[in-house]
């Protein structure tokens, strides 16, 4: 769901807290309870960067990794959001900034949206 700063100022400020250098106007909300892979590396001009944030506003950035082909180890990077924990994803697709996406657990949706 696309949102604007005027509609949801609190959620947009949470996203900008995770990525303070972001100056764009593209914001989305995604409600999910499925697992996803939180890897951050450039591949073909595209990249997803992740930052996790809790209800207290504490951020934890996922560091950039090397391309999986170059890694000498394999580990499980599957992540599933727990209640009270959200993920902010900054997406570049084919070199174009696609904005920030706030991924929420379904149980947190009623608390954060008016």
d(CA 90, CA 47): 8
Examine the pLDDT at 32 and tell me if it is beyond 80.
yes
What are phi and psi for residue 22, nearest 5 degrees?
-75, 125
Question: What is the pLDDT confidence band of residue 114, given thresholds at 50, 70 and 90?
Answer: low
Radius of gyration of the chain from Cα atoms?
Answer: 14
Determine the average pLDDT of the residues in 70-75.
53
Determine the average pLDDT of the residues in 46-70.
76
């Amino acid at each position: 769901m696309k949102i604007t700063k005027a509609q949801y100022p609190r959620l947009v400020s949470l996203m900008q807290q995770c990525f303070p250098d972001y100056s764009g106007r593209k914001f989305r909300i995604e409600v999910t309870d499925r697992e996803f892979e939180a890897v951050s590396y450039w591949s073909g001009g595209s990249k997803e960067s992740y930052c996790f944030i809790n209800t207290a506003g504490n951020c934890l950035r996922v560091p950039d990794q090397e391309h999986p082909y170059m890694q000498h180890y394999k580990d499980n990077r599957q992540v599933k959001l727990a209640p009270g924990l959200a993920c902010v994803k900054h997406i570049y697709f084919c070199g174009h900034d696609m904005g920030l996406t706030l991924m929420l657990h379904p149980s947190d949706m009623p608390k954060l949206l008016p």
